[in-house]
Amino acid sequence: MKIFFLDQSGKPGGAELCLIDIAKPYQDNCLVGLFADGSFKNLLEENQIPVEILTNNQIQVRKESNLAQGLGSITQLLPLIQKVAKIARNYDLIYANTQKALVVGALASFISRRPLVYHLHDILSPAHFSKTNRMIAVNLANKFASLIIANSLASKDAFIAAGGNPKLTEVVYNGFDSQLYQIDPFETNTLRDNLEITDKFVVGHFSRLSPWKGQHILIEALVKSPPQVIILLVGDALFGEKDYVDKLHQQVAKLGLENRVKFLGFRDDIPQLMAACNLIAHTSTAPEPFGRVIVEAMLSAKPVIAAKAGGAVELIEPGIDGFLVTPGEPEELAQVITSCVENPDTTNQLAISAKQNASKRFDVSIINQQIAKLLQQFSSN
């Protein structure tokens, strides 16, 4: 089976990291076409996955675009659509991994007469996308896709609520290699020394810095948490949310928390950093489509507190393998953090269950088999 993957991003967000795992089994028979250059290309190359940058023009359409902007952007995309259609003729299938990839892939699939698979990594709700964007995505997916793979029930339900065709849609969770999260304790101690967090209770937050990821909620919760608690904020503003980064720094300064909040920027040693934490917090204020960091925390055998909405609810069984709290409520978050500090034995037990459950449910080889089975129908062999 020859697959032509499409992704709009040059930077590695959750959808892109998931694509690496999906494309790897096809590395001898696939191409990943990107609509922007950047570090995601390097990551694909490091994984021996063929990659090509398909355009140097920035695609203007944004999550909040209106109809005129949306339609205007389609005209602007025509040369890219033609290029994709031409390349697609050498492949069995076009696999669109993001929304702009869906727009391009849908029309290219029509021109090249190749089937289209759309991997839906988003919750198509008003909290995340404008009406126009939802309408374009749902109509293109319904009309042109032969299969839609949703990354959670939450994403599938939102797609159907927005008018998406339920008969085309299957849920497949992200897969993970649990071996990557086995870190040598000596390495962890060294990292804790280097970060100067040895005697602290470390709460890690792993996400791009963006208002809806809710880093400000965790900083607010820190004020009400025991004094030995500190926060590591891991991630950067991937999609231009520089104002939010400034606001976070101002919030920390205003609350006098400079010694208790460390901004580490974007990192590629997530398993090592998670191992160096005592607890991991996920604080999205809008429903998370899946929440890779939640599973990664579970695989790291760390207690995880997640915002109770979207995909997070499918990943954690509260009180059994993690904690769920009301999104956007720093008081409640602080209470759960405090209880974890005060009850390490119970919390560690729960983290051990989390590792066991996540290793079984999100094993990358099983998830890849599920995808291979779904894609089998498009094989020309």
Residues of this chain that bind ligand UDP (CB under 6 A): 13-15, 17, 206-208, 234-235, 266-268, 270, 290-293, 296
Cα 198 to Cα 63, 105, 120, 303, distances in angstroms: 41, 49, 41, 18
Identify which of residues 93 and 325 has a Cβ nearer to ligand UDP in the complex: 325
The minimum distance between CB 80 and ligand UDP, in angstroms, equals 24
Angle CA 15–71–12, to nearest 5: 15
For residue 307, the minimal CB distance to ligand UDP (Å) is 12
| Beta partners for residue 69, in sequence order | none
Q: Whose Cβ is closer to ligand UDP: residue 17's or residue 168's?
A: 17
Contact 6, 95 (CB under 8 A): yes
Closest contact distance (angstroms) between CB of 266 and ligand UDP is 4
User: What are the percentages of helix, strand and coil residues in the chain, rounded to 5?
Assistant: 50, 15, 35
Closer to ligand UDP at the Cβ: 264 or 341?
264
Which is closer to ligand UDP, CB of 215 or CB of 357? 215
Taking the complex as a whole, how short is the minimal distance between the CB of residue 298 and ligand UDP, in angstroms?
12
Per the DSSP assignment, residues forming a β-bridge with 7 are 34
The DSSP symbol for 240 reads S
CB of 290 vs ligand UDP, minimal distance in Å:
5
Q: Kindly tell me which of 15 and 120 has the beta carbon lying closer to ligand UDP.
A: 15
Distance set, CA 308 to CA 99, 224, 241, 281, 282 (Å): 25, 20, 24, 12, 10
The answer to whether 127 and 284 are in contact (CB under 8 A) is no
Q: Which residue is nearest to ligand UDP (CB)?
A: 14
Radius of gyration in angstroms for the set of CA atoms belonging to the chain, rounded to a whole number: 21
Q: Which of 210, 298, 302, 224 is nearest to 260 (CA)?
A: 224
Closest CB 48 distance from ligand UDP, rounded Å: 19
Nearest residue (CB) to ligand UDP, 112 versus 155: 155
